[in-house]
Structure 1
Amino acid sequence: MKKNIVRFFCIGLCAMPTMAATLELVTLQYPPYQYEENGEIKGFVVDIVKEAFRRLQQPIKITLMPWTRSIKMIEDGAADAIFTAYKTSERELFADYSKEVLMPQAVSLFVLKDSTIKFDGDLYKLANYNFGVVSKVSYGDVFDNAVKSKIIKTPDTTHTGEKNIEKLLAGPDYASCSIISV
């Protein structure tokens, strides 16, 4: 009888669904991709991420924070995953990337309507202008390499895209970089 109880208990344990630990995901506030509204994390990329993990039956917790902190948490192992992060050689040292791109994106340059800044694809022509970027965000190899090689000035960094828009609205010779879906 005791053997049957032990056997039943073991079979019961094996038949029980395993409860996966909740994965900690981090990202930045970047509407409409991901943003917080009334205490809830929303956005169309958030919807995709949530659905993917729901199908895997994997619980997740998504936290929005400054991008620099998000990157550091992934690098230190304090968070399990990050999303909407461009793949860079520096990040590949501490992060694994999926083979599929979650959301195809293109880098865009924003200027005021009456700005004298004109862009024809040659970053050398923009060397005298100020750029605003979000700290630790990669804007792709072309822009990132132009900054590293000093083709353009070191950009002014902020923690949010909204701050860059405020700077853009305040100054005539200022451009804001952003990433948009293609």
Structure 2
Amino acid sequence: MAFSLRYTYLFLSIALAGALIMSAGCLSDNGGGSADQSDSIGITDLTFYTEELPPYNYQENGTVQGMSVDLLEAVTEEMGTKVSREDVQLVTWTEGYQAVLNGNNTVLFSMARTPERENLFKWAGPIYTNRKVLFARTESGITINNPEDLNNYRIGVITDDIAIQYLLDLGVDQSQIVTENDVEILIDKLNNGDIDLWAYPEASGRYFTEKVTGDSNSYIVVYELQSQETYYAFSKDVPDPVVQSFQQALDMVKDRKNKQGISEYERIAYKDLGVSCTQQTFSDEKVVELVNKTVSAIENNASDTIQRINSGEAPYKDQEYPELYTFVYDTNVTMVAHADNIQLVGTNFKGKTDVTGKAFRDEIVAGALQNGNGWVEYVYTNPAHANLYYKITYYQLATGNDGKYYIVCSGNYESCNA
């Protein structure tokens, strides 16, 4: 019996060792156990962090709010598994940044995507464009034509804000910079004339301005210090397919229009941020030039030109300025060509509006049929920057070589310096 048991134990030990070796070999072939585990990770397995930065992301009545949060719900719902705002943890920026930097399937929003951070995270976005600007009292009459003008004014900044470095880099003397730890103190100082300008992110500034004065438009923007696109930052261990699926869903939320002609992104941005201006990068003359060039091409070969527009080819989508592009309606207000968003082609926009309720497409087509050409103002997205902007579009009636009428359009965005 002792002989039998001894060899039985020996046999079991050899078998167990063999099983462990085989198991180790299988794990090695798969690149370690984490590969199998990562394949099963979905969007709801991630931990989401955000910070207090109204109106983008903040807490109100015990619940996280803001554009970034609203957009997160819309995007994940588009993915088929909604992450609700109750799943988002509000933490300090330092805590959230360290969590997403150290991995463990985390997401932090919203984060400026800078060259220094590019390879530290995986990215999806942009969510919005964060403009750090200088506010002045509406009645102040202050105009900033160049950075040298800034030394003529006392500028209020939050202590340790990056805006201080921006100002110093522009040549502003340290003695002209007034620092405070509380944004509401800076607003009071601007009201009292203790400072002439106030440096702060534009949308957040308007949020706090309304809170203090009751009117978000109490001050005007007189200068832009810096403009950055913000993103959802994923830790490096989040599987690429999860990040890619999130980005694809975000693109759909931005591009797809509802029955009213508005995308879900436009609805969210308008509700949470309102409408922005931009730093104008090209002239209205370039807009007219592009429309005239497109009209000539359609008159010569309509089908080929429409195909080239829908392919996003130059010059119909400018290589230097992506916000300068051609789009074309027929007389029934159906989109027949679009150099920036092919998804809109084939859609009839009769009676559909922008987020303010303006049926601008009907105005464009009616104006072209009645007057031949003209301009229409409305609110729209910008391919070069997140947010909503005031846009002005030039249109012109064209007769294609196929005998059909086309309304050829291109537009520009309202400059903050206008």
| TM-score, scaled relative to structure 2 | 0.31
What's the secondary structure of 2:183's corresponding residue?
A: helix
* Aligned equivalent of 2:67: 44
CA RMSD, aligned part only? 3.6
2:69 is matched by which residue type in structure 1? V
Q: Which has the higher contact order (CA 8 A, sep 6+)?
A: 1
Partner of 2:157: 132
- Separation in 2 of the partners of 1:169 and 1:33? 23
What amino acid is the match of 1:34? N
Tell me which residue corresponds to 1:10. Answer: none
Distance in 1, matches of 2:99 and 2:145, equals 35
User: How many correspondences in the alignment?
Assistant: 154
Partner of 1:169: 188
- State the 1:109 CA deviation: 2.0
> Which range moves more in the overlay, 119-128 or 20-29?
119-128
Compared CA separation, residues 101 and 25, structure 1 to 2 (3 A): same
| d(CA) in 2 for partners of 1:121, 1:145 | 20
2:54 equivalent to 1:31: yes
Partner of 2:76: 53
Q: Distance in 1 between matches of 2:157 and 2:105?
A: 27
Which residue in the other structure is 1:146 paired with? 166
Kindly report which structure 2 residues correspond to 1:10-159, keeping only aligned pairs within 5 A, or say none: 20=42, 22-56=45-79, 57=81, 59=83, 61-77=87-103, 80-98=106-124, 100-113=125-138, 118-120=142-144, 122-127=146-151, 129-133=154-158, 146-147=166-167, 149=169, 151-152=171-172, 153=174, 156=179, 158=181
> Gapped runs of 5+ residues in structure 2?
1-39, 204-272, 277-418
Question: Deviation at 1:135?
Answer: 5.7
Q: Say which SS state the counterpart of residue 45 (structure 1) adopts.
A: helix
**Following TM superposition, where does structure 1 have runs of at least 4 consecutive aligned residues deviating by more than 6 angstroms?**
none
Contact 1:68/1:135 (8 A) holds in 2: no
The aligned amino acid for 2:59 is E
Query: What is the one-letter code of the residue matched to 1:39?
Result: G
| Distance in 1 between residues matched to 2:120 and 2:178, nearest whole Å | 25
Q: Distance in 1 between matches of 2:154 and 2:68?
A: 32
Deviation, structure 1 residue 103? 2.0
State which structure, 1 or 2, has the greater radius of gyration over its C-alpha atoms. 2
SS of the residue 2:123 aligns to: coil
How far the C-alpha of 1:102 sits from its partner, in A, is: 1.6
**Residues 74 and 80 in structure 1, CA contact (< 8 A), matched pair in contact too:** yes
Give the TM-score of the pair, scaled to structure 1.
0.61
1:121-176 deviation line (CA, Å, top 9, x unaligned): 5333324634424867x6xxxx6873463623478475xxxx22323313622513
Cα distance in 1 between the residues matched to 2:168 and 2:98: 21
CA distance in 2, matches of 1:89, 1:157: 29
Structure with the higher fraction of residues in helix conformation = 2
Give distance in 1, aligned partners of 2:185 and 2:64.
Answer: 23
Q: Work out the CA distance in 2 between the residues paired with 1:105 and 1:129.
A: 23
Extract unaligned runs of 5+ from structure 1. 1-17
Q: Per-residue deviation at 1:41?
A: 0.9
